């Protein structure tokens, strides 16, 4: 009996020791886990603080971004009645005529060659990314940006070659108003080098996945600040969904906008002649803005 009792007590003691060791391990694991989580959340909080600080520093140059400014505040700043402004839209050919689109320094056959290149690049884009349709779940704003770049490339390359002008395309360029009230980052800005220390803004392009109306206000605000920076000449802007375009001009006294014009159509790959005749006007519009935008030539020579 005594042996049995001793065996039982020994077994019980071993079990208690095992349970105690297990509990100790669990407590240690829990403490380790708690310490790890505390460290994780501390780093997360530090990272968020750093991100917010960087964001604050980046946006410190202006009070309100173009995209965040309310329509009421934007129209008050621009001195516009948007409904009347939209209703007063003019045909694109009239805009080209008023922009005096005799493309100086560029031969007529060169303009035709540009159109040929742009047509080919558009077909490449459609083959690679598909037709820019809002109905597609895969179609996003970045796709519109890609199409704009496909169109701009041949035009800018040939324009530089023909005129010798030092124009450059800037992506995600920061614009800030002279009074620091407004500012933002524009996806497409074309600048002209006047001297080693001075540049002039020629045009901007605001791309949107959906309707053109979403980008018009932002484009107007950016053009207003562009003109102020240039201190003369004309500012040009385009708003596009890739398929639809509108051209805007600002001369310091009033804004003028074209009616909507098309750059693409469904059977573009099978109807080159139709595109060259009816839809290549986008090439002429961009050329007109490059030639007429920024500081006037007489101002550059002063």
**How many angstroms separate the CA atoms of 58 and 52, rounded?**
10
* Structure confidence at residue 100 (pLDDT): 62
* Rounded Cα distance, 233 and 296, in Å: 5
In angstroms, the Cα distances linking 191 to 77, 147, 286 are 24, 20, 13
Span of 13-27, 104-118, 171-185 with lowest mean pLDDT: 13-27
Query: 184 near 215, Cβ under 8 Å?
Result: no
Quick one: pLDDT at residue 237? 96
What does DSSP assign to residue 108?
H
State the Cα torsion 111-106-168-150 to the nearest 10°.
10
| pLDDT tops 80 at residue 219 | yes
- Mean pLDDT along residues 286-302: 72
Residues 6+ apart with CB under 8 A from 67: 184, 218
| Predicted confidence (pLDDT) at residue 209 exceeds the cutoff of 60 | yes
Where residue 188 falls among pLDDT bands split at 50, 70, 90?
very high
Give Cβ neighbours of residue 219 (< 8 Å, ≥ 6 apart): 204, 206, 237, 238, 239, 248
Residue 130 confidence (pLDDT): 92
| Distance of alpha carbon 96 from alpha carbon 113, whole angstroms | 19
Domain boundaries, the chain: 2-60, 71-300
> Is a pLDDT exceeding 60 seen at residue 185?
yes
The set of residues, in sequence order, having a beta carbon less than 8 Å from that of 166 and lying 6+ positions away, is 160, 192, 193
Q: Which of 272, 280, 219, 229 is nearest to 252 (CA)?
A: 229
Question: pLDDT value at position 6?
Answer: 55
Averaged confidence pLDDT in the chain: 82
> What is the model's pLDDT at position 301?
46
Convert the pLDDT of each residue in 119-136 to its tens digit.
999 999 999 999 988 778
Question: Any idea which of 108-112, 196-200, 224-228, 257-261 has the lowest mean pLDDT?
Answer: 196-200
Q: What is the pLDDT of residue 46?
A: 47
Residue 161: is its pLDDT beyond 50?
yes
Looking at residue 90, the DSSP 8-state letter turns out to be: B
pLDDT, tens only, 29-45: 555 655 655 655 555 55
Q: How confident is the model at residue 167 (pLDDT cuts 50, 70, 90)?
A: very high
Q: Which of 93-107, 156-170, 235-249 has the lowest mean pLDDT?
A: 93-107
Looking only at the bridges linking them, the beta strands covering 182-193 and 64-65 are parallel
Query: Rounded to an integer, what distance in angstroms lies between the CA atom of residue 107 and that of residue 152?
Result: 19
pLDDT at residue 249 greater than cutoff 90: yes
* Choices 3.90.1570.30, 3.40.50.180, 3.60.21.10, 2.30.30.90: CATH for 71-300: 3.90.1570.30
Q: How confident is the model at residue 51 (pLDDT cuts 50, 70, 90)?
A: very low
Q: How confident is the model at residue 113 (pLDDT cuts 50, 70, 90)?
A: very high
Residue 99 C-beta-side C-alpha neighbours within 13 Å: 31
Whether pLDDT at 104 is above 80: no
Question: In 3-state terms, what secondary structure has residue 130?
Answer: coil
Task: Tell me which of 51-55, 97-101, 281-285 is least confident.
Answer: 51-55
Which single residue is written with the structure tokens 């003109």? 227
Token code pair at residue 287: 């050329």
Q: Is the pLDDT of residue 50 over 60?
A: no
CA distance 235 to 214: 20
Query: pLDDT value at position 94?
Result: 93
What pLDDT is recorded for position 55?
Answer: 46
């Amino acid at each position: 009996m005594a042996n049995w009792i001793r065996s039982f007590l020994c077994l019980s003691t071993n079990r208690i020791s095992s349970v105690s060791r297990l509990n100790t391990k669990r407590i240690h694991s829990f403490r380790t886990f708690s310490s790890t989580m505390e460290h994780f959340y501390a780093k997360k909080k530090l990272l968020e603080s750093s991100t917010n600080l960087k964001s604050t520093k980046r946006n410190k140059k202006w009070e309100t971004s173009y995209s965040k400014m309310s329509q009421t505040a934007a129209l008050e700043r621009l001195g516009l009645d948007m409904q009347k402004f939209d209703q007063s839209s003019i045909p694109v050919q009239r805009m080209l005529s008023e922009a005096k689109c005799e493309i100086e320094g560029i031969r007529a056959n060169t303009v035709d060659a540009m159109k040929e290149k742009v047509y080919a690049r558009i077909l490449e884009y459609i083959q690679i990314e598909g037709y820019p349709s809002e109905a597609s779940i895969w179609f996003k704003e970045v796709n519109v940006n890609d199409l704009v770049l496909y169109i701009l490339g041949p035009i800018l390359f040939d324009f530089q070659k023909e005129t010798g002008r030092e124009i450059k395309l800037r992506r995600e360029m920061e614009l800030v108003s002279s009074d620091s009230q407004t500012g933002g980052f524009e996806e497409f800005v074309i600048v002209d080098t006047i001297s080693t220390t001075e540049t002039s803004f020629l045009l901007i392009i605001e791309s949107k996945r959906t309707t053109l109306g979403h980008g018009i206000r932002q484009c107007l605000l950016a053009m207003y600040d562009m003109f102020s920076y240039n201190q003369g000449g004309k500012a040009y802007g385009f708003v596009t969904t890739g398929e639809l375009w509108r051209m805007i001009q600002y001369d310091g006294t009033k804004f003028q906008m074209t009616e909507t014009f098309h750059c693409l159509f469904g059977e573009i790959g099978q109807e080159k002649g139709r595109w060259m005749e009816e839809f290549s006007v986008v090439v002429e519009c961009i050329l007109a803005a490059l030639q007429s935008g920024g500081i006037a030539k007489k101002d550059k020579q002063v």
